[in-house]
Amino acid sequence: MLLRQAHSGHLIDISDIGTLTDPTETRVMGRLLWGEELPEPEYFNKQDMTFPSGEQLPHCWWDVHYQEDDYRRLHRNPQEQAPGYNGA
């Protein structure tokens, strides 16, 4: 899969899609596609990756806590759901 390094704009050929989609991994193995020779694989920070179109990677690919905010919002107690309401 090809991704773009945000700070440089260079394309990177990602060799392990499983690591890319695993939110517990902060780095992913790939090869920088720059120049005539194919370089050795190296690790790249997922926070610095985008799709070639410039779109950010899905939040669930790099943040292990991506569901916690939605869970808290949907499962808070009734008194927290209506702030400022003191009852009738």
pLDDT for the residue 41: 93
> pTM of this prediction?
0.69
pLDDT for the residue 19: 93
Q: Helix, strand or coil for residue 70?
A: helix
CA distance 23 to 45: 12
Mean pLDDT on 84-88: 55
In tens, the pLDDT along 25-80 reads 999 999 999 888 889 999 999 999 999 999 999 988 988 887 776 666 766 665 55
What element of type H or E holds 14? Answer: strand 11-14
**For the chain, which residues make up each domain, given as ranges?**
2-77
